[in-house]
Amino acid sequence: MPSFDVVSEVEMTEALNSVDNANRELETRYDFRGVEASFKLTKETILMKADAEFQLTQMFEILASKAVKRGLDVKSFELEDIVHTGKTFSQEVTIKQGIEQDIAKRVVKKIKDAKLKVQSAIQGDEVRVTGKKRDDLQQAMQLIRTAELGQPFQFKNFRD
């Protein structure tokens, strides 16, 4: 039976490349001259440090533009609260990996409400969709692409 998996993953090598590119741009930007500002990637979080709070918003815009150029979706970035320590401000950007349980339930509900001839099941942090016809699976893919669920989705393991 044809099937595919709906996942939400971020390529960490591309995230590392976008962080490196953002650090390079910080070195060349005139408004960041003489300012201690940096990006640092650790596992699934990006730490932004700067001397002022408004610079963190500028830094996130730099990071977002570099991430988009590398093919990453900015919806998978989640900003944490700004922390003020001494004379520096820092903010963590968490990279969402996997589909959370409540979002997975909303994906399954959307597929069922569309009355497509497919079955969907939650398997850990991904959703498996199976159907008898390829066309039904492609309709399900299109439905998931157009749904605004606050997270980017990819499709993998498409089997005939």
Compute the average pLDDT of residues 54-79.
Answer: 90
pLDDT tens readout for residues 89-108: 999 999 988 888 888 888 88
Give the model's pLDDT for residue 136. 86
With a pLDDT cut of 90, the percent of the chain lying above it is: 26
pLDDT category, 68, cuts 50, 70, 90? very high
Compute the average pLDDT of residues 109-128.
Answer: 87
Please name the residue that has the structure tokens 């390529």: 11
Give the model's pLDDT for residue 91. 92
68-73 long-range Cβ contacts below 8 angstroms, 24+ apart: 69/18, 69/21, 70/14, 70/15, 70/17, 70/18, 70/21, 71/11, 71/14, 72/10, 72/11, 72/14, 72/15, 72/18, 73/10, 73/152
Residue 141, pLDDT above cutoff 80: yes
Q: What is the DSSP letter of 74?
A: G
Give the model's pLDDT for residue 60. 92
- Given a contact cutoff of 8 angstroms between Cβ atoms, the answer to whether 108 and 99 are in contact is no
User: pTM for the whole thing?
Assistant: 0.79
Residue 160, pLDDT above cutoff 80: no
pLDDT tens readout for residues 10-60: 888 999 999 999 999 998 888 888 888 889 999 889 999 999 888 899 999
